Amino acid sequence: MFVTALADREAVLLAPYAMASAASTGRRYSEPEHPYRAPFQRDRDRIVHSAAYRRLSYKTQVFTGEMGDYHRTRLTHTLEVASVARTLARALRLNEDLVEALALLHDIGHPPFGHAGEEMLGDCLAAHGGFDHNRQALRIVEELEQRYPDFPGLNLSREVLDGQAFRARQGADRESPLLEVQVVDAADSVAYDTHDADDALQLGLLQFDELRDLPLWREAVARVNRRWAQLESGQLRRSVILELINWQVSDLLAGASQRLGGRAIDSIAAVKRSDILIHPSDELAEQKAEFEQFLFARVYRHPQVLAVRRHAQDQLRAMFDQYTAQPDLLPPGFRGLCRRAGVARAVADYLAGMSDRYAQQQFQRFCARSPVTSNPE
């Protein structure tokens, strides 16, 4: 009854190029259909209830918790991406459950301390296949999470796994991914551009006037000023951030609608044959690129941020060396993983799953007074 009602509902709501629940190719481990939840709803719920997802609340997005409590964490960034992505999906008549599952999953593989942690684990695993947070997300949901008695991982739908795998391959596929995947990538870009600037301004790493020379920011300020006059500085900043989001989403929707109609995209097969359909206009893409270059130079390479990065990386390096030298210090499950995946990979899995706070605690417990100077591997 519920399955039939869902199919009928999606037949009315979803566009022909959207991924219908009934068209899912299933899961690696066969499961009976749920009596009242669609497959992508179940995927979303499994991700939200996973331990790895909960730990995102104490993982760095760009700025660590030592710098305050206003700025985004990896979890709040994830929720903001999901919010933007669902808005895009609804306007384009895509499968919102699939989009939300993909958005909630997209950063679940990030280690503590943001990209600084990812870079250090990449160095530690240079001889063992490297480390990438997109691939790590797949390891988590296919193997490392142990919540169900019938299978390892979360046994997510193939469409969710394929979408995350596309991110891990950095778009090197011959076929384009589902539009639901494209929506999440676009929403991610919208979120981190605007919110990283917002956080940097709030923390005092940037001043508002420094951004006025950038066309993207200047146009957003002009749009706000045309609507409201004489806003106080805090309200002006918040209004500009909101305008940047609305502007980018509107641009994405206008461009996507034009491409979908102009190229007669009327099926998933047509989506896969086409190039990427959901992306900013050329003008906005150019402005975003300039904006991102500015953020890289003035925010991500800010001396205060770099000092925190170096300290965090030193701690991760010390823990990696300590645990690889003494794998008996690992929890039992990871000691067992050493036999299947190798000591280096198991140690990286353990470290990558830590929150910032837990990593600092473990460093103090095992490494602060007993540094290891060599790695036997």
The pLDDT tens digits along the chain (377 residues) read: 566 778 888 889 999 999 999 999 999 999 998 988 999 999 999 999 999 999 999 988 877 656 666 778 999 999 999 999 999 999 999 999 999 999 999 999 999 998 999 999 999 999 999 999 999 999 999 999 999 999 999 999 999 999 999 999 876 677 999 999 999 999 999 998 899 999 999 888 999 999 999 999 999 999 999 999 889 999 999 999 999 999 999 999 999 999 999 999 999 999 999 999 999 999 999 999 999 999 999 988 888 888 888 999 999 999 999 999 999 999 999 999 999 999 999 999 999 999 999 999 999 988 876 544 444 33
Domain range annotation of the chain: 2-305, 306-366
Give me the long-range contacts of 34-42 (CB less than 8 A, separation at least 24).
35/2, 35/3, 36/2, 38/6, 38/97, 39/157, 40/95, 40/97, 40/98, 40/100, 40/101, 40/157, 40/159, 40/160, 41/97, 42/157
For 30-47, what is the HEC assignment? Answer: CCCCCCCCCHHHHHHHHH
Give the residues across from 218 on adjacent strands: none
Say how far apart CA 112 and CA 60 lie, in whole Å: 6
- According to the CATH classification, is domain 2-305 in 1.10.3210.10? yes
